[in-house]
Each structure stands twice: as structure tokens, then as C-alpha cells.
Amino acid sequence: MDVMAKTSTTTQGLRAAIERSGYYPALVAEAVEAAVGGDPIQSYLVHQETTFDQNEVRRHVTVLVLTGTRFIVSHTDEQAADSTSPTPYATTSTESVKLGRISSVVVSRVVGNPEQYQPGTLPREVVLTIGWGAVSRIDLEPAACGDPNCEADHGYTGNSTADDLSLRVSEAGDGPETVRQALAFAQAVSEATADTDR
């Protein structure tokens, strides 16, 4: 398959996945397509999440797109009518990140009965975390020395973690195909960011 045909197929696949999510597909697709522009799509992942906020059900969709030079993140949230709007509304945002800025790609897999694990078995849950330095989390705790009777102030110790995007998919909640897509997308991003010349 030539590059143009593959790109067309991938673009159609992305649009079909957005439409399958059933979550304001015209709005989501327009925002994503505007962010992608004319770049060929290498890989994508569409994830819809439903949450319960007191008496309200809220939906959120995240669309991740990998092109040859960029990582694009789109979030769309719906909101109920409030003091700023007499009707329900949705907010869509997109962020475009150069691949060279991505500093970490973390894939956490949860498998049941690990003693019986067979290579190629689908995990029951995957958490994909991608960091590019826009958001960092700092976890601090008081530092201590080895003396249990010491009362001196040793300052603080901690960790700084890049935590720009964290996405959880599960076989039970999202279906096995979404888990497969999450793993394939994570591998594509990992491979794309391995090239440090970008």
C-alpha cells in the first residue's frame, strides 16, 4: 500500500472511530482535523469516558493523533447549563506537541493471573502516560536521617514527575479493541520519539 493510500485509510479510520464514539462527532472531528492539518496520520486513539458528578452524568472524549512530526491531543467535555450559559455546552481544546519535546512514554499493564500469563495475552487494563514538560507534579515529604531519635530539620525530599497526559483503558469498560489500540498507539509514540533528531 502506498503512503497516500495508507494516509487516506488512516484518516478515514480516525473519522470512523470518532463517529463510533457517538460523542458530538462533527464537533470533535472538526477540531481534530483542524489541528492535524495536512500532516499524514501515523496512528490514533479515541477514548470516551463517562463520569458521574453528583446527580449529573458527564462525558469526555480524548483523541490522540500521531503524525510524522507532532503529537496532537484533543479533549472535549460537555457541561450542563449554568450561570454563564442558559443551555448545555461543550468545550473542545487541542494541543500540538513537537515529537522532540516528548520526554517520557509510560505504559502500565495490568494482567490477571500473572503466573498463567502467555505472551500476546491482552492486559485487562492499560494506563498510558505521556510527558512533554507542560505539566509537572511534585511530591514532597519531610526528609529524615537514619537516627530514630534525631529531631533535626532535614528539609524535604521528593520527586518531580512529568504528567501531561494520563489515559486509562480497560477491557471491561472500553472493550478489548480499545485496549489493543491503546497498546499500538503507545508503541507508535515510543518508536517515533526514539528518533532524537526530530
Q: What ranges do the domains of the chain cover?
A: 1-99
Contact 89, 76 (CB under 8 A): no
Q: How confident is the model at residue 10, as a pLDDT?
A: 80
pLDDT along the chain (198 residues), means of 10: 50 92 93 94 91 74 95 91 87 94 93 93 95 67 78 72 80 93 95 72
Q: Which strands make up the sheet holding 125-131, listed edge to edge?
A: 104-110, 125-131, 165-170
Q: How confident is the model at residue 135, as a pLDDT?
A: 54
- Please give the model's pTM, rounded to 2 decimal places: 0.80
Between the alpha carbon of residue 50 and those of residues 4, 58, 59, 78, 82, the distances in Å are 36, 6, 4, 11, 20
Distance CA 136, CA 18 (A): 29
What residues have CB less than 8 Å from 5, skipping those under 6 apart? none
Q: Where are the alpha helices (DSSP H) in 3-155?
A: 3-21, 25-36
Q: Which residue has the cell 484533543?
A: 74
Q: How confident is the model at residue 169, as a pLDDT?
A: 95
Q: Is the dihedral of CA 37, 39, 41, 44 positive or negative?
A: negative
What residues have CB less than 8 Å from 58, skipping those under 6 apart? 50, 51, 52, 77, 78, 79
